[in-house]
Structure 1
Amino acid sequence: MLRFTSVSVFLFSALALAVSSGYSLGALALLLGSVCLLWKRPRLELQQRDRLLLTALLTYCLVFVANMFYHGDPMREFDIPLRVLLAVPVLLLLLAYPPHPAAWWAGLAFGAIGGAALAIWQFVVQHMPRPEAATSNAIHYGNVSMLMGMLALCGLAWARTQRHRIAWYGLLIAGCLAGIFGSIISGSRGGWLALPVCVLLVAIDHAQIHGKRYIAIILSAMALLMALAYYLPHSPVHERTAAAITQVEKFNANDDKSTSIGQRFEMWNIALVLSRQHPLIGLGRNGYLEQKEALVKEGRMGPSTMNVTNAHNDYLDTLVKRGAVGVLALLLLLLCPLTMFALTLRHGTLAGRPYALSGVVLCTCYLIFGLTTSSLTLNIGIIMLVFPMVILWALQRHAQKSASTGQKVSN
């Protein structure tokens, strides 16, 4: 089973962006593998923190499903909480049979590189203005690409302890740069906000172990990279940043809601206004869309965003559809594992730090992504949150356990 979980974890990340619905293949393999728990019955030795993570996953799922049935929303809405629920048996499987660490780090690097290669093909050969790799949306491709690049960066601390560390350094740095490049070429501005925050987290972590000079080195490298990305000819960063500034100015001066940012501002405002009707449990998906249609008929909202099914902000979208209860469940899903990963990062063993740092980066990225788009309304968004979360948690637990018992963690 250890080989099976390792291969599945590798495929999960390696195929995520280069193959259509590739992120689902490794996840499906892990889910099918979890069936073995019914007859193998391994000793899981669940700790309090394991139960807290399970509680966060199950609470989000239960609140979502209860709200969906209360409001009579369509059954296709069940897809999102189902993905969260399916991560539970996968977590138990990985706690019992933790994957090879190399499978996780290699999968991340190859996945980011494969996604960037496909995006370059789309941009250069197919003349796609905003490449989306094998996903269905440039925004979500850009965000996931940035996420994978930042997670690959977290693996450098692990690579330092490996026999072939130079090769691992090269692969993970290539994966990091490919992930950043994929985000840049996609033109997804929301994902760019995560870059300085995540790089700072990595720099601080490395500085605590190897000295404060690492902060200066990593931040200088990031500043150079961002300058190059901005000032290169025909840079998507320069063009998209300039467009954003122009659109904000138009909105402030003329209340122009025809641009992408103007439409976002309108969707955010409408979500806030509508959330006041049922602040505790929200309107549900159908109620939200019906109220938007009514506002268009009254002339209080433009028709351009009427058929958009989300508020382009995870927090506001949850607030208007599932109310304050839903927002609390969402924050529990993000902040509970973030806190536990951070505690391990602060007090855990050296072997567990790369996975704890990755968990902090994962949750931080989603906290940032959710500010400008509804990351958790599509399968790729929710799967690329909860499945890496449980993979990293199992890897961290295994590393911590091996260190505490004096065992050698597999390389």
Structure 2
Amino acid sequence: MSTPTKQSFLSVNSRSLLPALFLLAYPSATLLFHGAGSALSIAAALISLALLASPKAWTGLPSIQWDSVDVALWIATACPVVAVLISGAWHGTVVASTFDSPSRFFAAAPLVLVLRRSLPRTLEWTDLSFALAALVSLGILLIVPRDWGFGRLSSQFLNPIHFGDVALVLGVLSILSLNWWRKDRLFVRMIKVGGLFAGLAASLITGSRGGWVAIPVVAAMILYVRSRGKSRKWKVLLPLAIVAILAGAYAFSPTARNRVGDVSSDFVKYTHGDKDTPLGIRLQLYEAAARIVESHPLLGLGSDGFRNSMQAFANSGMLTPAAAQLGRGEAHNQMFAYMTDYGIVGGLALLAIYVVPGVIFWRRLSAPVDAGRRAALMGLTFIVAFWIFGLTVETFDLKMTVSFYTTVIAILAAVATYADTKAGSEAARAARDSRQ
């Protein structure tokens, strides 16, 4: 029996070069170029569909054998579009533009089908993708920032809240990618650790405090998952390191101290009748959204229903003019945004986008290959972070953020589950043999 030839982890054939470059560059391109995240996501989905429809001799992909992961992701990613369609049909006002963002969730389904059946050496190009993107996020703020007002810096095309949230989660994914596919060399470790601090720094610079709520939750979850089987010393030192990093960020960042202090100040003002603070406006909008859900629970008000109800709430005195004006832009809560427009049906559709891939990642925490287990933790972290981001801002009101979320989920789901497929299992086994 011949001995397998050992290949570099960057070795790919001509068929795999394009997907390999996509896996490496997608997160960074999303932050660097306006519209790149959406365009690349759509292109990847269309190319994936074309590959799935092409003869095996042309693509080199194994025959598709559907399993529970494939079916679950296809159904989950279709739910938002179905919710919009049902609500629109019921209210008799189907607004074409409201299908744009929800339809982008579906891009994940064909991409996962293709990537799960790719060779490990192609999937390994994800290794530095999140670290590089986290470094890019800080580079943008240091080299070509845009002041969006009140000293809030971000990129030229993405507002500080979304930019800060994306930078933060990229930093966390960067540190989680340490020793992802193999034991990293010192230089690679430095890049990934640098990605963590770059993501944290970028988030602090933007002042996006809503995203900071995710830090203790995500940290606790990671500690719980990663501490299993570790020594007592490891279980003590890692939490202390996390606390030290966060304490240092607070101590040395005036932006962090001011933004956190503004929360209590805004709340005091709200209780004394000054409701037009950032916190006060959100509380007003949440109260209005809750009333809409209470009065129209099943299918909401229909497309753009929340936005169109703002004037009525302002006229009744429930919303201040400033809150009503901002409410025409968004509800500042992703669940309320879906439930006010599409009711419980919309809320369940949104939950499917979080819960279904979340369950897949949770189950893959015990995947048969190390890379799959690490990808599962990264995917679970990514979903939990985005869910928390969505408590104070509409994470999916921009096409770019929808595309980013769904594409990253597709990539991590593919890595977490590729060994489940027959071809993936054989490829993973061959890759292990080649390292021996």
* Residue 36 in structure 1 maps to residue 33 in structure 2: no
**Residues 1:406 and 2:422 are matched in the alignment:** no
What is the CA deviation profile of residues 17-68 of structure 1, one whole-angstrom value per residue up to 9, with x for unaligned ones? 2322332343244234212322135412221122112211122332233324
Specify the SS of the correspondent of 2:295.
coil
Q: Distance in 2 between the 1:338 and 1:36 partners?
A: 27
Which residue is equivalent to 1:21? Answer: 35
Deviation sequence 1:147-189 (CA, Å, 0-9, x none): 1111112211415x24x43222112111121111111111001
The reply to whether residue 369 of structure 1 matches residue 389 of structure 2 is yes
Shift of 1:390: 1.0
For this pair of structures, how many residues does the alignment match? 407
1:211 CA displacement = 2.9
Q: Which amino acid aligns with 1:142?
A: G
Instruction: Quote how far apart the aligned CAs of 1:126 are.
Output: 10
Worse overlay, 120-129 or 51-60: 120-129
What is aligned with 2:279? 261
Is the 1:231–1:238 Cα contact (8 Å) retained in structure 2?
Answer: yes
SS of the equivalent of 1:407 reads helix
Instruction: Note the 1:243-392 alignment, pairs <5 A.
Output: 243-252=262-271, 254-307=272-325, 308-346=328-366, 348-392=368-412
Cα deviation digits, residues 301-353 of structure 1 (max 9, x gap) = 21112233321011111111111111111111101111121111146543311
Query: 2:66 & 2:190 partners in 1: Cα distance?
Result: 36
- Which residue pairs with 1:239 in the alignment? 258
Inter-partner Cα distance in structure 2 for 1:204 and 1:213: 15
Larger radius of gyration: 2
- What amino acid is the match of 2:52? L
Tell me the residue number matched to 1:145. Answer: 167
Aligned residue among 101, 122, 128 for 1:106: 128
| Equivalences for residues 110-189 of structure 1 within 5 A | 110-122=132-144, 129-158=151-180, 161-162=182-183, 164-189=184-209
Paired letter, 2:318: R
Q: In the alignment, what sits opposite 2:17?
A: 3
1:51-96 Cα deviation digits (max 9, x unpaired): 1122111223322333245442532211112211222222222223
Q: 1:106 to 1:183 in 2, by over 3 A?
A: same
Any stretches of 5+ residues in structure 2 without a counterpart?
A: 1-14
Per the alignment, do residues 110 and 69 of structure 1 end up closer, same or farther by CA in structure 2, a change over 3 Å counting?
Answer: farther
Q: Distance in 2 between matches of 1:380 and 1:103?
A: 22
Taking structure 2 as the reference length, what is the TM-score of the superposition? Answer: 0.86
- What fraction of aligned residue pairs are identical, expressed as a percent? 24
Return 5+ residue gaps in structure 1 as ranges: none
Could you tell me which residue of structure 1 aligns to residue 214 of structure 2?
A: 194
Q: Give the direction of change, closer, same or farther, for the CA distance of 1:166–1:130 in structure 2 (3 Å limit).
A: same
Structure ranking higher on relative contact order (CA contacts 8 Å, 6+ apart): 2
Determine the C-alpha separation between the residues in 1 that align with 2:177 and 2:163. Answer: 21
- How far apart in 1 are the matches of 2:76 and 2:24? 25
Q: Distance in 1 between matches of 2:193 and 2:219?
A: 13
- The root-mean-square deviation of aligned C-alpha atoms, in Å, is 2.5
Question: Matched residues in 1 for 2:39 and 2:141: separation?
Answer: 20
Structure 2 distance, partners of 1:112, 1:69, is 42
